[in-house]
Chains A and B, each alone.
Chain A
Amino acid sequence: MTTHSAADCATCPAHHAGNLLKLGVDMSDSDYVVALAGNPNVGKSTVFNALTGLRQHTGNWPGKTVARAEGGFSYADKRYKIVDLPGTYSLLSTSKDEEIARDFILFGRPDVTIIVVDATRLERNLNLVLQVMEITDRAVIALNLIDEAKRHGLQVDERRLARDLGVPVVPMAARQGEGIPELLQAVHEVANGLAVCKPHRVKSESTAVQRALQQLVQQLTAVYPTLPNARWVALRLLDGDQRIAEAVRSGEIGALSAPENDQNADLLIPLEVAA
């Protein structure tokens, strides 16, 4: 979809790294919120540091990062706030770090979610990608460690991947700084609606489950007509997800029905949206 060749980008004013202004912890007046998700130990923090100029220290064992780190950058005249989420393998189970990541993607409603994936372990990483894309439409895949994959004799066809997933895929070697300009451009396009994502959704439920889903989605949309991810909410309810059930009971889920650019004040992340 929106993966550009280097030649295309050379003529694009947004390409030059000079366009990136690292704002560190200055997140005032951000136009967009970007979430950074991914499995543990795939280079999320390297991407975070490259974008914000911060030096966030992370360990590579699960459980070390259970909170989220935040920073800011400015690109093509827009100010972005970026939130580094704890590394997780899935968004389904009930552990604290997964809950933090999921709650932010769901209730924080980031304008763009960058999912950093390890090109050498694509299959495992895609599990998370598919789960994130169940919640949000606007995702960008940062296909990191592409250099390591090459060393292992792996070739990842990022264009095919982008077509299959329905979202932009940017090959990167974040540690070497490769692919950062392309990533910024992709985020910029998705955030500003220049690129439209059509995320791939897993659809292989049995007919019984499909009927159950349909019934629940109907009820959900009756109460919240503009709920953007009713199918996902229904899936979670069927799975007995207490957190989501609580959100439905308390009406918190209704906050998600607000149309874009009309954020409720009680969201986790107060936003000031440019006109």
Chain B
Amino acid sequence: MTTYTPRMNELNGQGETAVRETDILQTAETLRWQIGQNFHEQLMEDIYTEAARIADRAVTRAGEKPRFDMDRTIDHIVTSRVWGFPLMVLLFTVVFWLTISGANVPSGWLSYIFLDTLHPLLKEGATAIGMPWWLSGLLIDGMYLATAWVVSVMLPPMAIFFPLFTLLEDFGYLPRVAFNLDNIFRKSGAHGKQALSMMMGFGCNAAGVVATRVIDSPRERLIAIITNNFALCNGRWPTQILIASLFIGGLVPAYLAGFVSAMAVVGIAVLGVFLSFAVSWGLSRSILKGEVSTFSLELPPYRPPRIWQTIYTSVIDRTMIVLWRAITFALPAGAVIWLSANVMIGGVSIAEHLINLLNPLGLLIGLNGVILVAYIVAIPANEIVIPTVLMLTVLVTGATGVGAGAGVMFEMDGSAVRHLLDAGGWTLLTAVNLMLFSLIHNPCSTTIYTIYKETGSKKWTLIATMLPVVMGFIVTFLVAQVWRLLAG
């Protein structure tokens, strides 16, 4: 008998064959435990060593190219065990510092044009043509101002951050970041390529969720999708930057303020990365158990970034698209905010009813009712959290001289904002917890919808949505308790 096909096996009696086949698997299982855990790595390493040996014998170089060496030198530093991480943090701190300190000036110009100049003109025009107060309030004080605020706050940081980020990408640095993070992700039971989708998440979580398509194992992809929200997205950077520069930067002398604020923002971003690891670890040991798959990551050669092209495309592709999205959400949100502040039930506006309802919970977790209402209003887009907070604080504190009326979003210089928030009962704890909650809360509705489209599962969408909110409440609650304990 020379052949032994399954058909032949059947002739021999199925029972006997079945036993022998499971025998093989049983033996394999037992042996796997004996040979130890790093068998797979050893296997890969053997192949790599052998490939290197054979390639080395076959290839001769006519003279080392200096750029080849240069790449290696750079890689040795940026992916080194000692310098890899500090360099990464330093590089991103510089990027944020440039963003924070560079965005102030153009932000001032834009708010001067849109808020100080155009807004009064529009109001005058509305009065001139005899527009009823509620219509001009809804259109100009609600929709127009919300949009103008979003543009003047978001456009400058995005126009600086995105090109810088794209330059790093173009240079070839991002694959090195993925390389640095790969080991930790694997130890967390996640896929190393999650580092790439996380990088995308720093721009926009919806884009990050789509980017998890590079991960082919469904288990690891789900982990990447659920934890993508911990990558601080573009809509949340302005919140972090504003609060950090008002409250954290205010703790130190002025010449240090920019740097310290940038460090605070980087700290939150790093905490987000850490949470990604922690949650990946938890998921891969509970509801998403399984083995980690290996992959090869190509480190492309470093290239001098094409500066003008990069600036052009990142401004057009990224900045404008994100800005447009913010505007389309700011328009209706502005209307909703204005209406809720001006429609009265029993002499008190809807917004105030809501704030009073949520205030006890908010204070318990070191925030306040205003912030929680703002987060409900901002479910469609995180970008409008700060404008909503400011508007509602005016409403609650009854502050005068800072706006044209209830439900009006306005621009003030930093100290006026700080003054207003102080009047709203804000402390350093409120600021810190707002930064934390901004990192750890539900994804925006666009991202939720994207998660549903990518997973096709209501269950996983629900988990991806609820897990961060619950975590956010727990974290802010704990921080508030410890803080109050220490502060006496």
In contact, B216 and A255 (Cβ under 8 angstroms): no
B291 interface residue (CB < 8 Å to A):
yes
In contact, B61 and A153 (Cβ under 8 angstroms): yes
**Chain B neighbourhood of A225, CB < 8 A:** 1-2, 4
Task: Give Cα A154 to B294, complex, Å.
Answer: 30
B105 interface residue (CB < 8 Å to A):
no
Which of A94, A155, A164, A223 lies in contact with B20, CB distance below 8 A?
A223
A14 interface residue (CB < 8 Å to B):
no
| Nearest 5 interchain pairs by C-beta | A95-B216, A153-B62, A126-B51, A89-B296, A123-B55
Task: Give Cα A94 to B294, complex, Å.
Answer: 8
Per-residue CB contact flags for chain A residues 133-153 toward chain B (1 = under 8 Å, else 0) read 000000000000000000011
Q: Which of A145-204 contact B (CB under 8 A)?
A: 152-158, 160-161, 164-165, 200, 202, 204
Per-residue CB contact flags for chain B residues 41-69 toward chain A (1 = under 8 Å, else 0) read 01110111111101111111111010000
Task: Give Cα A90 to B295, complex, Å.
Answer: 8
**Chain A neighbourhood of B215, CB < 8 A:** 95
Task: Give Cα A152 to B55, complex, Å.
Answer: 16
Size class of A's contact patch? 35 or more
Q: List 8 A-B contacts (CB under 8 A).
A: A63-B213, A92-B44, A126-B51, A153-B62, A165-B54, A248-B25, A254-B4, A264-B5
In contact, B17 and A223 (Cβ under 8 angstroms): yes
Per-residue CB contact flags for chain A residues 58-80 toward chain B (1 = under 8 Å, else 0) read 00001100000000000000000
B131 interface residue (CB < 8 Å to A):
no
Which of B39, B49, B51 lies in contact with A124, CB distance below 8 A?
B51
Nearest Cβ distance between residue A5 and chain B, in whole angstroms?
18
In contact, A122 and B4 (Cβ under 8 angstroms): no
B183 interface residue (CB < 8 Å to A):
no
B6 interface residue (CB < 8 Å to A):
yes
In contact, B3 and A129 (Cβ under 8 angstroms): no
Q: How many residues of B contact A (CB 8 A)?
A: 55
**Chain A neighbourhood of B54, CB < 8 A:** 126, 161, 164-165, 200
B40 interface residue (CB < 8 Å to A):
yes
In contact, B61 and A93 (Cβ under 8 angstroms): no
Task: Give Cα A237 to B32, complex, Å.
Answer: 8
Q: Which of B404-424 contact A (CB under 8 A)?
A: none
B481 interface residue (CB < 8 Å to A):
no
Task: Give Cα A250 to B1, complex, Å.
Answer: 22
Which of B25, B32, B47 lies in contact with A202, CB distance below 8 A?
B47
A127 interface residue (CB < 8 Å to B):
yes
**Chain A neighbourhood of B56, CB < 8 A:** 123
**Chain A neighbourhood of B6, CB < 8 A:** 251-252, 254-255
Which of B2, B60, B214 lies in contact with A63, CB distance below 8 A?
B214
A238 interface residue (CB < 8 Å to B):
yes
**Chain B neighbourhood of A106, CB < 8 A:** none
In contact, B34 and A212 (Cβ under 8 angstroms): yes
Task: Give Cα A97 to B213, complex, Å.
Answer: 12
Which of B63, B65, B217 lies in contact with A95, CB distance below 8 A?
B217
Do A254 and B5 contact each other (CB < 8 Å), given the known contacts A205-B46, A222-B20, A240-B32?
yes
A209 interface residue (CB < 8 Å to B):
yes
B254 interface residue (CB < 8 Å to A):
no
Nearest Cβ distance between residue A222 and chain B, in whole angstroms?
7
In contact, A216 and B55 (Cβ under 8 angstroms): no
Nearest Cβ distance between residue B324 and chain A, in whole angstroms?
26
Task: Give Cα A89 to B48, complex, Å.
Answer: 12
Task: Give Cα A158 to B373, complex, Å.
Answer: 70
**Chain A neighbourhood of B47, CB < 8 A:** 127, 130-131, 202
In contact, B5 and A209 (Cβ under 8 angstroms): no
Per-residue CB contact flags for chain A residues 207-236 toward chain B (1 = under 8 Å, else 0) read 011001001100110111110000000110
Which of A158, A160, A235, A245 lies in contact with B43, CB distance below 8 A?
A235
Task: Give Cα A90 to B294, complex, Å.
Answer: 9
Chain B interface helix/strand/loop/mixed = helix
Task: Give Cα A155 to B23, complex, Å.
Answer: 50
In contact, A62 and B214 (Cβ under 8 angstroms): yes
A258 interface residue (CB < 8 Å to B):
yes
In contact, B50 and A130 (Cβ under 8 angstroms): yes
In contact, B62 and A208 (Cβ under 8 angstroms): no
Task: Give Cα A222 to B21, complex, Å.
Answer: 10
In contact, A156 and B59 (Cβ under 8 angstroms): yes
In contact, A212 and B4 (Cβ under 8 angstroms): no
In contact, A248 and B293 (Cβ under 8 angstroms): no
Task: Give Cα A163 to B475, complex, Å.
Answer: 63
Do A127 and B48 contact each other (CB < 8 Å), given the known contacts A63-B214, A223-B24, A226-B3?
yes
**Chain B neighbourhood of A161, CB < 8 A:** 54, 57-58
In contact, B294 and A93 (Cβ under 8 angstroms): yes
In contact, A238 and B46 (Cβ under 8 angstroms): no
Do A259 and B3 contact each other (CB < 8 Å), given the known contacts A126-B51, A209-B35, A238-B35?
yes
Task: Give Cα A62 to B23, complex, Å.
Answer: 39
Q: Closest residue of chain B to A239, judged by CB?
A: B40
Task: Give Cα A161 to B39, complex, Å.
Answer: 28
**Chain A neighbourhood of B2, CB < 8 A:** 225-226, 259
**Chain B neighbourhood of A154, CB < 8 A:** 59-62
Q: Closest residue of chain A to B220, judged by CB?
A: A94
Q: Which of A241-275 contact B (CB under 8 A)?
A: 245, 248-249, 251-252, 254-255, 257-259, 262, 264
**Chain B neighbourhood of A206, CB < 8 A:** 35, 42
Nearest Cβ distance between residue B176 and chain A, in whole angstroms?
17
In contact, A122 and B59 (Cβ under 8 angstroms): yes
Task: Give Cα A264 to B7, complex, Å.
Answer: 10
In contact, A95 and B31 (Cβ under 8 angstroms): no
A55 interface residue (CB < 8 Å to B):
no
B80 interface residue (CB < 8 Å to A):
no
In contact, B58 and A96 (Cβ under 8 angstroms): no
Nearest Cβ distance between residue A96 and chain B, in whole angstroms?
5
B328 interface residue (CB < 8 Å to A):
no
Task: Give Cα A200 to B53, complex, Å.
Answer: 13
Task: Give Cα A236 to B250, complex, Å.
Answer: 60
**Chain B neighbourhood of A238, CB < 8 A:** 28, 31-32, 35, 39
